[in-house]
A and B are shown apart, each in its own frame.
Chain A
Amino acid sequence: NAGVMQNPRHLVRRRGQEARLRCSPMKGHSHVYWYRQLPEEGLKFMVYLQKENIIDESGMPKERFSAEFPKEGPSILRIQQVVRGDSAAYFCASSRPRGQGIDEQYFGPGTRLTVT
């Protein structure tokens, strides 16, 4: 029973390039969340998605960042024209639909993005 999968684990981009981060939720999980962790800080919520729907994007920067969770395939967090301040660990989490247990969020191993 595979956990939440994220790839790549490490990503290096030059300033101005695009970064694409992928997340495959656990089997049976239809809710996906993205969080960002800056060095020596806690995780900050970015966006919450269900299949083909963005439910809450209140934590997403207004520009350059977008997320999707298509009907088929993984969830994608896309950062256009990356800047040094985007360097962080990006975590994806997934959970069951409401009413099916505690529905705690299970986290993937994270993608460490370094912008040079």
Chain B
Amino acid sequence: AQKITQTQPGMFVQEKEAVTLDCTYDTSDPSYGLFWYKQPSSGEMIFLIYQGSYDQQNATEGRYSLNFQKARKSANLVISASQLGDSAMYFCAMRANFGNEKLTFGTGTRLTIIP
């Protein structure tokens, strides 16, 4: 079974500052993928970034980077130079790479950017 834990229900960050959203996971699968999604108030789910468990380098996508620490089973999302439009719910998710296709989601972190 897979489990995702997001321990920060809500965060407030000043505009232009960097922010780290925490995510820890638990799985017995030897190969897996980690995902972050953004859900703005309009409700859609927007894919942000992906990290494979065997990737040697941390994933980056523009202002998003994933701080992957495999031994600690953590996959924190870092947003640099935050913007007002970053205010949203953020979900960490994982999926086994073989057989089991479903995504397992955490409970999310509500990020609010303060002007």
Residues of A that sit less than 8 Å from B by CB: 31, 33, 35, 41-45, 48, 55-56, 58-59, 89, 91, 93, 95, 102, 104-110, 112
Count contacts on B: residues with CB < 8 A to the other chain: 20
Contact across chains for A42 and B101 when beta carbons are under 8 A apart:
no
* Chain A contacts for B47, CB-based, 8 A: 104-107
* Contact string against A for B residues 36-72, beta-carbon threshold 8 Å, 1 for contact and 0 otherwise: 0100000111110010000000000000000000000
Take A33-B102, A33-B103 as given contacts and tell me if A109 and B50 are in contact as well, using a CB distance cutoff of 8 Å: no
Contact across chains for B43 and A110 when beta carbons are under 8 A apart:
yes
* Chain A contacts for B91, CB-based, 8 A: 42-43
Nearest Cβ distance between residue B22 and chain A, in whole angstroms?
Answer: 15
- A35-B103, A107-B46 given; name 9 further pairs at CB < 8 Å: A31-B101, A43-B103, A56-B100, A58-B102, A104-B35, A104-B50, A105-B35, A108-B44, A110-B43
Contact across chains for A109 and B103 when beta carbons are under 8 A apart:
no
* Chain B contacts for A45, CB-based, 8 A: 102-104
**In the complex, A106 Cα to B57 Cα: how many Å?**
24
Contact across chains for A110 and B101 when beta carbons are under 8 A apart:
no
Contact across chains for A33 and B101 when beta carbons are under 8 A apart:
yes
Most buried by B among A31, A35, A44, A105: A105
- Could you list 6 examples of A-B contacts with CB < 8 Å? A33-B103, A42-B105, A45-B104, A59-B102, A95-B101, A107-B45
* Chain A contacts for B100, CB-based, 8 A: 56
**In the complex, A102 Cα to B102 Cα: how many Å?**
14
